[in-house]
Amino acid sequence: MKYCEPPDKITTIGLGSCVGICLYDRYIKHCALLHIMLPDSTKFSSQTNRLKFADTGIDDMVKLMEEKGSRVSSLRAKIAGGATIFNFSSTSGSGNIAVQNVVCVKAKLASYGIKIVSEDCGKNCGRTIIFDPETFELTVRTAGQQIHVI
């Protein structure tokens, strides 16, 4: 997880089944970006990094934004990732870690009442994302070098 304010931008690379969550304050224009790898920390007996899980990472992200002066009611989110990179029979439906990551991220954000403004999730391509806290634009570059803004 990283935090930034304008004029800086924030980025993460290598989003496959992982999900990038951009949380931003639309009034004071600062943001945090979290790159989660797994949906649920309670499924692991030994967790050394809270930020790699959607449930605990988003908790820490919201706490950071509040410490930087945000109110939860002012926060909005944009998310990207959750791609099915490898096509194994065990990755269908609820067994798919990418799908679980996206579902858990959405549920956790909803538990805070944080609206997801836009998303680019699923499919079978890796992504790099860049968020601009000044314009609230999330630039998504896929592994095939396709670029779009959400």
Distance, in Å, from the CA atom of 44 to the CA atom of 47, rounded to the nearest integer, reads: 6
Cα angle, residue 27 at apex, residues 22 and 32 outer, rounded to 5°: 25
Token pair belonging to 47: 């967790």
Residue 18 annotated among the catalytic residues of the structure? yes
Three-state SS at 96: coil
What is the rounded (10 degree) CA torsion for 110, 111, 114, 119?
-30
Please tell me which residue in 18, 31, 104, 121 is annotated as part of the active site. Answer: 18
CA distance 70 to 121: 26
CA triple 130-136-140, angle to 5 deg: 30
Q: Are 80 and 12 in contact (CB under 8 A)?
A: no
Q: Helix H segments across 11-82?
A: 54-67
Q: Just list the catalytic residues.
A: 18
